[in-house]
Structure 1
Amino acid sequence: MEKGTFKGLEAFILENQHLKAVILPDFGGKIASFYDKKAEYEWFYQAKVEQLPMPHYGSAFGEYTPGGFDDCFPAVDEGPHPINNRKVPDHGEVWSMVWEVDEKLENGITLEVKSPVFPYELKKTITLLEDGLEVRYRVVNTGEAPFAYIWSPSILLNMNEHTQIEVPEECDEIISTEPDNEHLGDWGARHPFPITQSKESKEEIDLSKMATKESQSIEKFYFSKRLNNGWCRAVQHDLKKALYYSFDPDKIPFLSVFKNQGGWLGDYNFSLQPSTGMYDDVYVANKIDRVAKIPPEDENIWIFRITVEDTE
């Protein structure tokens, strides 16, 4: 591991003969870049700026040049937390906070952060593997009541007309969570996956593929069923490569997809988002029992891996 800078911020760089990852402790512990040397391809979407502005606690996520891998915790949507009704900021707290470096490893780094508002401490160890990244999480409930949370990795990926989403076979129906969408309709509308019919044009559309940037559209949907298999893939057919996410479905049982097809900030990117809860709002998720919980003065541990694969 080496120290360096990335778009004006202090960075820790993990590198081997195949891959290079850049981590920004001061910017929410973000993994800002994941570069595939063999393919000469940057997997993580990069905002077109030379200097990254530093967020502050409670910043609006969209105002801070989204890109790379941010942790959403203890929720995704802004709103009250069921433990004390205090507001969880947009995309959670931790993406906009400074993480402390706890331990430097030969091929990794351990970072930690403590909430100023809620009773938890979150630690993660990022390790560069021969063919990918492994992130081990440990969250401790320091309070005297069960603590509900949603964790989800907001990883904005590059995409083009060759990009395709692959998911387990149980992911055969989606629930739209956008308020009004040309093809998917209102929040809560259900569609078969991957092939469905547009609500407006009635044309057949493939939800596993991407619309053009010119469509200026946004899609966000959850798969309606809990996962039996903990994986999903972003396939780049033009590279003959895929980015494979793997995790324990007993701990991370939900999966959502966000597609920004020119409709948000004029960017063109997407995100596969395994999640410990459903519908992004931790208050709602707690009400419908679609949320992870930590017993008082206890901890939860989970592992999330990203692997670069050849598809041919």
Structure 2
Amino acid sequence: MIKETIFKGEKAILMESEELRVVILPEIGGKLCSIYDKNKEFEVLFQNKKDYYKKAQLNSNFGEFDASGFDDCFPTIDESKVMVSGKEVIYPDHGEVWSSRLKYNILEDAALLNMHSEILPYNYSKKVSVQGKEVELHYEIENTGRDKFPIIWAMHCLVNCEEDMTINFPEDTKTIENVHESKALGKVGEIYTYPIDTVISGKKFDFRKINSAKPNNTEKYYVAHKTRTGRCSMHYPSKDVTFEIVYDIEKLPYVGFWVTEGGFRGDYNCALEPTNGYYDSIDMAVRREMCHYLKPGEKFNFDIKLIIK
């Protein structure tokens, strides 16, 4: 079942199967704001703590808004200045899509959302469908201009944390790079062995676990290499739920991880972030030759499947 509805005062698309209820906000960047398991009575996505959504504009600061649910970060995560067609273009904080109003069409079995960029010559579209316990997303990003430009697409899907949860990185993960100044992991650029290594305090750090919300802490790190397995997940033992992300490894070969253990506005959430860039800023990814250049006329297509077990 698919229909239009209102969610916290915003136009929304409600998609339901017998097992799942999914809500999308077209005018809040096409955000997936809820993935609810009816049988387990469990909300996967971290929720907006207010009863309304503050609408962002182009170049807004992401941290001043709700920071909830599943946003698409494109064409960057960190704000960057890029030369395109001989002109300097500002790639906004967390990209352009999250702050955009997407047009949409509701089909019999899917929702189609799309936008045309204000800063670069590209069309952005995604198709969302819900079948059983799966949410399927198909993306297409087309360069409609005459010159290539660098892009990062990252899955910014904030999920609820539980103290007993387990984070499962792709099975061929070997090393982790810290990309965020950290009390536990130290300076940016520190490399650790996955899944467990000794950190700067001399203690063992298990990258599959998180802390409670009490440490007032945040962490951000990446798998320090391309992976060959497009599959990662979060397991919630106390809820008997696994949230699995299956994605196109040829297009999204890198994986980041963000967690706020009370360190950002008191929030308690985390995100596994499949991406095509390494890491966060276009400047960094270009220097490392670890991002994609979207060529004139090229369509960058990929699929993501979210499975609730």
Q: TM-score range by the shorter chain?
A: over 0.9
**Match of 2:273, SS?**
strand
Alpha-carbon spacing, 1:227–1:156, altered in 2? closer, same or farther (3 Å): same
Q: Tell me how far 1:287 sits from its aligned partner.
A: 2.5
In structure 2, list runs of 5 or more residues that go unmatched.
none
Asked if the contact 1:113–1:121 (Cα under 8 Å) also holds between the matched residues in 2, the reply is yes
Equivalent residue letter for 2:244: Y
CA distance in 2, matches of 1:81, 1:276: 17
CA distance in 2, matches of 1:85, 1:48: 37
Q: Tell me how far 1:293 sits from its aligned partner.
A: 2.2
TM-score (ref. length: structure 1):
0.95
- The count of residues paired between Structure 1 and Structure 2 equals 306
Instruction: Confirm whether residue 293 of structure 1 aligns to residue 293 of structure 2.
Output: yes
Q: Tell me how far 1:143 sits from its aligned partner.
A: 1.5
CA distance in 2, matches of 1:97, 1:207: 34
Q: Which residue of 2 aligns with 1:283?
A: 283
Instruction: Confirm whether residue 148 of structure 1 aligns to residue 150 of structure 2.
Output: yes
CA distance in 1, matches of 2:171, 2:83: 33
**Match of 1:81, SS?**
strand
CA distance in 2, matches of 1:166, 1:13: 29
Asked if the contact 1:183–1:197 (Cα under 8 Å) also holds between the matched residues in 2, the reply is no
Q: Which residue of 2 aligns with 1:120?
A: 122
Once structures 1 and 2 are overlaid, which stretch shifts more, 300-309 or 280-289?
Answer: 280-289
Q: Which residue of 2 aligns with 1:86?
A: 89
Q: Which residue of 2 aligns with 1:134?
A: 136
- What is the root-mean-square deviation in Å for CA atoms of aligned residues? 1.1
Once structures 1 and 2 are overlaid, which stretch shifts more, 147-156 or 76-85?
Answer: 76-85
Q: Which residue of 2 aligns with 1:242?
A: 242
CA distance in 2, matches of 1:135, 1:269: 22
How big is each residue's C-alpha offset from its partner over 1:156-197, in whole Å with a ceiling of 9 and x where there is no partner? Answer: 00011111111223212111110x211111111111112122
CA distance in 1, matches of 2:159, 2:82: 29
CA distance in 2, matches of 1:164, 1:223: 16
Q: Which residue of 2 aligns with 1:304?
A: 304
Q: Tell me how far 1:147 sits from its aligned partner.
A: 2.4
Asked if the contact 1:82–1:283 (Cα under 8 Å) also holds between the matched residues in 2, the reply is no
Asked if the contact 2:260–2:270 (Cα under 8 Å) also holds between the matched residues in 1, the reply is yes
Equivalent residues in 2 for 1:200-215, closer than 5 Å: 201-215=201-215
CA distance in 1, matches of 2:222, 2:238: 27
Q: Which residue of 2 aligns with 1:258?
A: 258
Q: Which residue of 2 aligns with 1:225?
A: 225
How big is each residue's C-alpha offset from its partner over 1:32-90, in whole Å with a ceiling of 9 and x where there is no partner? Answer: 11100011000000122111111111111111111111000001111112424311111
Instruction: Confirm whether residue 174 of structure 1 aligns to residue 171 of structure 2.
Output: no
